[in-house]
């Protein structure tokens, strides 16, 4: 089987794969692949699964603080792997005792003393599962509940809390790093991709349209919009992105914008485009002309492939042009 891949070795499009068909046979797309193509080109809501870092995962005190934070000091309901629904200020202490995290921390200290390791292992992993605004919060929680049961049930202890205080509903999940059999959970990029796909599948099982594709496949980027950066600056918040904007301004003034990484980004985009062209060709062969047209339109509407600095420079110059146009209008 040959799969179109990025230079990183990961599939450009999971939905594309070619095999050597036997005599009289031809390649076909499976119903699952057709459904994924349709979700992607129709821009179905994309799921988000994040692992939050920080030292709060390596000490009992940090874990206690995180449990208190996600449970809003006992005001929100914490749901556990064994079906308990806990509220009140004692939830954090109860979970630490129930999961034997104090014992794990003691063993960790002895291990560190014996091996002189620099970085202490995590007691827990802190995860966030979220969906865009407008998604029914209880369905998000139900999907995460089913996901956690399948991925961690009878292996790793876990607890979850639904948050609806922001526009996008999200669920905080805390997973004990060491399983009941003494196996440590190590989260790699491949695991995160799998978790996104499974979270999306569980949401669809609950009647919520959801998709899990890589940003590069959709021609999208991570860079936040300038207006959000400016609003943060007006609130007196010094952000990393604000510093990046200042760097771009200085480079534009000097006439030497840093374009490192642009060549690799464009090669990635070319791989993605070739992948989508192959998908369109297969759809045409199978007589799915409308979906093939949707794929072509989706590709044509992809924004240009730009690095973070190129995107920020483009937005800055657009803002400058808008301001100049306003000034000319006022002078007329």
Range of the domain at 69: 48-205
Residue 85 lies in a domain: yes
pLDDT of the residue at 259 = 73
- In DSSP notation, 196-240 reads HHHHHHHHHHTT---B---HHHHT---PPPHHHHHHHHHTT---H
Confirm whether 131 is domain-assigned: yes
pLDDT of residue 156: 97
Residue 103 placed within a domain: yes
Residue 330 lies in a domain: no
Q: Please report the sign of the dihedral spanned by the C-alpha atoms of residue 217, residue 219, residue 223, residue 227.
A: negative
Per-residue pLDDT of the chain (332 residues; tens, 9 = 90+): 333 333 344 444 665 543 344 445 557 889 999 999 999 999 999 999 999 977 678 899 999 999 999 999 999 999 999 999 999 999 999 999 999 998 876 665 555 555 555 678 899 999 999 999 999 999 999 999 999 999 999 999 999 999 999 999 999 999 999 999 999 999 999 999 999 999 999 999 999 999 999 988 998 866 555 555 555 555 555 566 677 777 777 877 777 777 777 888 888 889 999 999 999 999 999 999 999 999 999 999 998 888 777 777 777 788 778 878 877 777 76
What tens digit of pLDDT does each residue of 9-44 get? 444 466 554 334 444 555 788 999 999 999 999 999
Between the CA of residue 94 and those of 37, 65, 280, what are the distances in Å? 46, 13, 55
pTM summary value: 0.79
Is 72 part of a structural domain of the chain? yes
With respect to residue 40, please indicate whether it lies within any of the assigned structural domains: no
Our count of domains for the chain comes to: 1
Residue 43 lies inside a defined structural domain of this protein:
no
CATH of the domain at 125: 3.30.930.30
**Residue 143 resides in a domain:** yes
């Amino acid at each position: 089987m040959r799969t179109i891949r990025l230079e990183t070795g990961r599939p450009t499009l999971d939905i594309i794969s070619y095999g050597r068909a036997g005599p009289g046979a031809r390649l076909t797309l499976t119903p699952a692949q057709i459904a994924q193509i349709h979700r992607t080109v129709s821009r179905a809501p994309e799921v988000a699964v994040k692992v939050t870092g920080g030292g709060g995962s390596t000490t009992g005190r940090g874990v206690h603080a995180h449990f208190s934070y996600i449970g809003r000091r006992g005001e929100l309901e914490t749901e556990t792997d064994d079906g308990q629904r806990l509220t009140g200020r004692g939830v954090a202490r109860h979970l630490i005792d129930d999961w034997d995290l104090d014992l794990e921390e003691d063993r960790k200290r002895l291990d560190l003393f014996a091996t002189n390791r620099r970085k202490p292992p995590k007691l827990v992993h802190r995860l966030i599962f979220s969906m865009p605004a407008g998604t029914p919060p209880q369905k998000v929680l139900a999907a995460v509940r089913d996901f956690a049961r399948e991925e961690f049930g009878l292996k790793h202890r876990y607890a979850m809390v639904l948050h609806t205080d922001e526009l996008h509903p999200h669920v905080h999940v805390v997973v004990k790093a060491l399983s009941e059999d003494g196996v440590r959970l190590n989260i790699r990029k491949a695991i995160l991709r799998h978790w996104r796909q499974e979270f999306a599948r569980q949401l669809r099982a609950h009647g919520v349209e959801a998709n899990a594709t890589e940003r590069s496949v959709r021609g999208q980027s991570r860079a936040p919009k300038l207006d959000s950066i400016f609003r943060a600056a007006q609130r007196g918040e010094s952000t990393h992105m604000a510093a990046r904007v200042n760097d771009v301004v200085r480079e534009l003034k000097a006439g030497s914008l840093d374009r490192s990484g642009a060549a690799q980004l464009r090669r990635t985009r070319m791989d993605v485009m070739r992948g989508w062209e192959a998908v369109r060709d297969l759809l045409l062969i199978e007589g799915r002309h409308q979906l093939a047209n949707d794929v072509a339109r989706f590709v044509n509407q992809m924004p240009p492939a730009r690095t973070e600095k190129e995107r920020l420079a483009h937005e800055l110059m657009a803002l400058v042009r808008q301001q100049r146009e306003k000034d000319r209008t006022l002078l007329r």
